Structure 1
Amino acid sequence: MPILLTDIWPIADQDDFKIHFARWNNHAQPLEVLARDREEWRGWQEYYPGRNDFNRQFIFSLAQFYHEPGTWLFGGVFRVLERHADRYVVEETDRGAGFVGRLKLLSDYRSRTTRTFMPPHYDQFIVKEITREPYAGLPFPGMGNIDLAFDELSTLVRNDRPDWRGALETTKGIYLVTDTRTTRRYVGSAHGENGIWARWSNYAETGHGGNVELRNLVDQNGFEYCQDNFRFALLEDHRMGTSDGVILAREAHWKRILLARGEDGLNRN
């Protein structure tokens, strides 16, 4: 028999709530925003879409757990303090604070409306899982399965997720950055101290990692271009004891194979 939300969290004042079913907004995944920056997540509750959707006292915020169909991660209860023509002013309350980032609920909600009244849905929520720790990014999938959107990489770096850092900071390698808007590719290598982790952390911070063509994209289109379009994959991993000469030779190999130079690529050399 499933455990319902009503079994673990009685909410008597449901009429005072709107539920925010936060989903991909063509720029960022709400799950990653919730995991990496609580202030940015509060901003998702303060966004005013042109109509007074949050016309109740409280917001029951949920982020779509996009890796698992029908799953939503609890993001906190917010109180609406002010309503303006272009924004809300909200504050996070302590209601359900222990569940934030940990409580996963099942719901078949599919309506295009992302902000809706609580009573029709509260009794239907099934508790899927209460995790030991708050969600802090994707678990490490193994070296041969790394394929990350910029949004996902940013979350892992911001949270200094130990399984990823432990694996990548002791590893040299060849990696691929793909601009998904144009399909142009950049092949790079990590062979310095702290290996791939240090190299990719720089990308998460700057968007371009110091590479000429990628920097040009950021300069011309803004940091948001990286967030929206870059993906990172690991092509080869090597022990830290591997010579830099071997790494650079393998990098040149992948540049040639993937046509990373010239019109189809983002490598200058």
Structure 2
Amino acid sequence: MVTQNGKEYHKYNTRLTDISAEFIGKLVVGFKKDFRQSYPNLETCLDNLEVLEFKREVLKVEFPGYDSVNVTWSELESLIKTTAWKTALENQKAVYLVVDTKTGKKYVGSAYGNDMLLGRWHNYIANGHGGNKLLKPLDFEYIKENFKYSILEIFKSSVDDEIIRNRESFWKEVLLTRTEFGYNDN
């Protein structure tokens, strides 16, 4: 146990070995935790792990630049936990695009205020829909399997929120996301 800011935390000493090195950065594993224990023991949970994906290439942790972001839900879930991606997204306002790769429907959203882009995308990872009316009826598993996220425009944190909302509206018009081709209703 380690005490920090008056709270106790578990601390584990780990080390990287060569065992299964070919899986590092490629294997995506899922685990449904339906119990209260904060730190489950791998030995007791191993049979409940599910291989979700095996990537051909090693997952890149470096932030590729705002104009090169185009990631799946599972990639986004992992990437926004990394220092490089957190740093790049946490102080940026943006207009972003969510694409349903199965239907081709698109959703244009914006990130401003206290949440910025990192906060908005955390919402999508938490529940799939990020609070958006037309995305709420979709099954979370469907979203995880079929949605991709990219950035249309990026803005400094000092840019007025009204400018961001106007650019969001512009992109909704350009991409026809308020029609049967999209998930925007406003």
Question: Residue in 1 aligned with 2:84?
Answer: 163
Q: Does 1:196 align with 2:186?
A: no
Q: Does 1:67 align with 2:57?
A: yes
Question: Residue in 1 aligned with 2:177?
Answer: 260
Question: Residue in 1 aligned with 2:157?
Answer: 240
> Which consecutive residues of structure 2, in runs of 5 or more, have no partner in the other structure?
1-16, 34-41
TM-score by length of 1: 0.52
Question: Residue in 1 aligned with 2:147?
Answer: 230
Q: Does 1:32 align with 2:28?
A: yes
Q: Give the superposition deviation at 1:41.
A: 9.0
Q: Is the 8 A contact 1:150 1:228 kept in 2?
A: yes
Question: Residue in 2 aligned with 1:138?
Answer: 61
Question: Residue in 2 aligned with 1:149?
Answer: 72
Question: Residue in 1 aligned with 2:133?
Answer: 212
| Structure 1 outlier segments of 4+, above 6 Å | none
Question: Residue in 2 aligned with 1:43?
Answer: 49
Distance in 1 between residues matched to 2:129 and 2:49, nearest whole Å? 26
Question: Residue in 2 aligned with 1:176?
Answer: 97
CA RMSD of aligned residues (A): 3.0
Distance in 2 between residues matched to 1:164 and 1:264, nearest whole Å? 30
Matched to 1:44, the amino acid is: E
Q: Which secondary structure does the structure 1 equivalent of 2:130 belong to?
A: coil
Q: Give the superposition deviation at 1:65.
A: 4.1
Q: Give the superposition deviation at 1:161.
A: 0.9
Identity within the alignment, %: 37
Q: Is the 8 A contact 1:30 1:41 kept in 2?
A: no
Q: Give the superposition deviation at 1:40.
A: 7.9
Q: Is the 8 A contact 2:111 2:120 kept in 1?
A: yes
Matched to 1:31, the amino acid is: L
CA deviations 1:107-150 (Å, max 9, x no partner) are: xxxxxxxxxxxxxxxxxxxxxxxxxxxx7x63211111000100
Q: Classify 1:42/1:175 alpha carbon distance in 2 versus 1 (closer, same or farther; 3 Å).
A: same
Task: Tell me which of the two structures has the higher relative contact order, counting C-alpha pairs closer than 8 angstroms and 6 or more residues apart.
Answer: 2
Q: Give the superposition deviation at 1:200.
A: 0.1
* Matched positions, count: 155
Q: Classify 1:153/1:41 alpha carbon distance in 2 versus 1 (closer, same or farther; 3 Å).
A: farther
Q: Which secondary structure does the structure 2 equivalent of 1:227 belong to?
A: helix
Task: Mark the structure with the bigger radius of gyration.
Answer: 1
TM-score by length of 2: 0.73
Q: Is the 8 A contact 2:26 2:56 kept in 1?
A: no
> Which consecutive residues of structure 1, in runs of 5 or more, have no partner in the other structure?
1-7, 12-18, 23-28, 46-62, 69-134
Q: Is the 8 A contact 2:61 2:84 kept in 1?
A: no
